[in-house]
Structure 1
Amino acid sequence: MRYTDIAIIGGGLAGSIAAATLGRAGISAVLIDPHTVYPPDLRCEKLGSTQIAILRKTGLAEETLRATTLDGEVWEARFGYVVDRKPSDQQGVMYDTLVNTLRAAIPDSVPLIHAKATAIHTSAERQQVALSNGEEISARLVVLANGLSVGLRDALGIQRRIVSACHSITIGFDVAPRDREAFDFPALTYWPKRSSERMTYLTLFPIGRTMRANLMVYRQMDDPFLRRFRQAPKDTMRAMMPNLDRMMGDFEVVGPVKVRPADLYVTEGHRQPGIVLIGDAFATSCPAAGTGTDKVFTDVERLCNVHIPAWLASDGMAVDKIDAFYDDPVKTACDDWSAAKAWHLKSLTLNNNPYWRAQRWARFLVRLGQGTLRSLRRRLHGRHTAPRSTVAREQAAHGEGRLV
């Protein structure tokens, strides 16, 4: 039997940040995950300023940003025309790189046990976790950060209620220009012309020397569109976005095309002694809305910086302690905002009643106005923005000029 204060089950984004944060605070913890190195996975591939601000509260921002690529500027396009070129502080990073970077920040005082948790027995005092390698863990608190896995939750009577099945689909792939060294844009967001395409947006952004693409759509997994995209991604993109070549020129899709559907679900029956759920283990978000990382970082920051230190100061791990995390106003506000944004973006993309049509045109006109004003200011001040050179892109890939 191994004894600890906190047993974290799941070594993805949420679990790895929690392990690093608790370990650096001197709190006894173990991390349980079967992967010695976290494998590639189509999940978060960008970090924005609000997410980095939350990450700074855990003390892990500096290590994380060394593995990312700053885009510096993003072009906004609609109807086949660039309507704005605005400064950007988004950081591109593959999900497995992000997780493995955070794992490297976990201090040696937090053991990483390469096994699966097969059973949990909970109480108001101590929890017991049985592992696939025959080992057992005794902990004051179990943090369930194992994402979409349901086995342990089912055994504890914790239910998942699906709010929206296949709410959105993310298609991830790499693109490269043909007959030239680099694209003209540092990063690009392309908004669709017609709601009938069921497309939220296409975003292109650098990760190292690679231009990464995420296409967000609202479709079902048996939609023939997905089969066409896998077979002929370039032709399907051009049919979907007829004027895309105005920004991209001739290009090719390189590497595999990965498709990930996302259900929206919430958890019920989770207010139990001795165990707390964070990240996707508690509730999912819509990748198209881009709020998932905000939810994960907020969960971990509130749990590890605020609640766990307070809980460990007194005996027991009864439900009233656990309730304090689920009722935390910062956490609940983030959860509510994430859910609202998921539904708003879907309605904005697909709904064709007069209100939502007006909303789409208003967004376009606002972006066009902002872009026009930005362009005029540059001309008045003599600051003309040139396309980022290959040399600058390589500097960004090696960490020069990175946002810190």
Structure 2
Amino acid sequence: MRETDVAIIGAGLAGSTAAAMLGRAGISVALIDPHPVYPPDFRCEKLDGPQIDILRRIGLADQMMPAMTYDKTVWVARLGRVIDRRPGDQYGFLYDGLVNAMRAAVPAAVDVIVAKATGVSTSADKQQVTLSNGETVRARLVVLANGLNVGLRHQLGVERIVTSACHSITLGFDLKPRHALAFDFGALTYYGETIAARMAYLTLFPIGSSMRANLMVYRTMDDPWLRDMRRAPETSLFDLMPNLRPLTGEIDVVGPIKIRPADLYVTQGHRQAGVVLVGDAFATSCPAAGTGTRKVFADVEQLCSVHIPNWLASPGMAATKITEFYDDPVKCASDQASMEQAYQLRSVSINDGLIWEAQRWARFILRAGIGAARQLRAPHRPGGHAGPTSGKLAA
């Protein structure tokens, strides 16, 4: 029997970040996960400026930055035209590399247990977690940070409600130019050309010495286009975005193509004594909207910097305490923004009708205006050399 104040189940990004924060605050923590090293996993692969700001605020940026690659300058393009060249504020990484870097930031005082949590029982006082290695952990609080896994949630009577099945699909792969040593751009965001493409955007960004591609589409997993993409990726990409070739030149897809569908879901029955859900264990986000990591960090920061220290300062762990986290205004605003952006981006990317077409053109004109203003303010700013077709900013 191991005793601790907080037992965290799941050492992905949410769980390991929580363990790092609580451990640094001197709180007794047990971090439970079956993998001694986080395995390769296709999830988010970029952090933006506001997410890096959160890492700085919680004191973990210095440990995480070596696992990431800065994008320097980003071309923003649509219909084959570069409409902005903006300073980069994003950092690319492989998800398992980021999680393992966060695990390395967990203080030695944290009790890291390499085992699977097979059972959990909760009360208003003490919680008990049974492990696959035969051990038991008793804690004042259980933090469920095991992502999409449902076994323990079912034991607790927590229900997952799918609000949008296969809301989006993310494809990840590496690219290289066929006839050059490097691309003209440091990073590129290319928006869908027509609603028939059923895509939000393609983003190209560096991870180490590789150019990584994340393509966000709105399709079903039985869509023939996915099969074509696996069989002939270069042809399928240019069929989807005919005007992309002038910006990239001829390309080769390197290595495997990873495909990850994303369901949107919320949780019911979670306001219970002794256990709190964070990150994807509570609610998912749409990768295309780019809010998932921000939502995870918002959850963990509020939970570990505000609520858990307050909860541990008094006896018991009643449901009234746990509810304070779910009603936290920062968390609620983060969850609401994540949901709204997921549906808004899907609608503006693929919905038909004059209203949505007007919105698409308004976004295009706004981005082009920002890009033109940036060029006027800094006409000689270095940031990459454009090819013969892409050298002019769209008016």
Give the TM-score category using the shorter length: over 0.9
In 2, are the aligned partners of 1:72 and 1:186 still within 8 Å (CA)? yes
Aligned equivalent of 1:189:
189
Q: Indicate if the aligned counterparts of 2:79 and 2:244 stay in contact, CA closer than 8 A.
A: no
Give, in angstroms, the shift of residue 374 of structure 1: 1.8
| Deviation, structure 1 residue 368 | 1.3
- In the other structure, the counterpart of 1:60 is 60
The answer to whether the 8 A contact 1:67-1:93 is kept is: yes
Give the SS at the match of 2:77: strand
State how far apart, in whole Å, the 1-side matches of 2:7 and 2:382 are: 54
Residue matched to 2:314: 314
Q: Aligned runs of 1:93-108 on 2, under 5 Å?
A: 93-108=93-108
SS at structure 2 position matched to 1:89: coil
Matched residue count = 386
TM-fit CA distance, 1:179: 2.5
User: What's the TM-score, normalizing by structure 1?
Assistant: 0.94
1:384 to partner: Cα distance: 4.9
Aligned to 1:28: 28
- Deviations 1:289-343, CA, capped at 9 Å, x for gaps: 0000011000000000000000000000001110000000000000000000000
Q: Check whether the contact 1:176–1:251 (CA below 8 A) recurs between aligned residues.
A: yes
Residues 116-160 of structure 1, C-alpha deviations (whole Å, 9 max, x = no match): 101111000000000000000000000000000000000110000
Question: After the TM superposition, which residues 4-403 of structure 1 pair with which residues of structure 2 at under 5 Å, given as runs?
Answer: 4-379=4-379, 382-387=380-385
Long gaps (5+) in structure 2: 387-395
Q: What's the CA shift for 1:65?
A: 1.3
- Percent same amino acid at aligned positions? 63
Q: In structure 2, what is the Cα distance between the partners aligned to 1:12 and 1:157?
A: 23
Deviations 1:176-229 (A, max 9, x none): 112221100000001111001101100000011110000000000011111110
Q: Tell me which amino acid in the other structure corresponds to 1:165.
A: A
Q: Is the 8 A contact 2:73 2:383 kept in 1?
A: no
Amino acid at match of 2:77: A
Give the letter aligned to residue 206 of structure 2.
P
The alpha-carbon distance between structure 1 residues 239 and 35, as it changes in their structure 2 partners (threshold 3 A), is same
**Contact 2:189–2:203 (CA<8 Å) still a contact in 1?**
yes
Superposed CA deviations along residues 41-67 of structure 1, whole A, max 9, x for unmatched, are 111100001111122232111111121
Tell me the C-alpha RMSD between the 2 structures.
1.1
| AA aligned opposite 1:238 | F
TM-score by length of 2: 0.96
Give the conservation status (yes or no) of the 8 Å contact 1:378–1:384: no
Question: Judging changes above 3 Å, is the alpha-carbon distance between structure 1 residues 300 and 156 closer, same or farther for their aligned structure 2 residues?
Answer: same
1:395 corresponds to? none
Deviates more, 1:173-182 or 1:217-226: 173-182
Greater shift, 172-181 or 301-310, is seen at: 172-181
Give SS of 2:4's match: strand
Which amino acid is the alignment partner of residue 265 of structure 1? Answer: Y
Measured in 2, the distance between the counterparts of 1:385 and 1:244 equals: 19
* Distance (whole Å) between structure 2 residues aligned to residue 340 and residue 385 of structure 1: 33
The one-letter amino acid paired with 2:251 is F
CA drift at 1:377: 2.6
Flag as ranges the 4+ runs of structure 1 deviating above 6 A: none
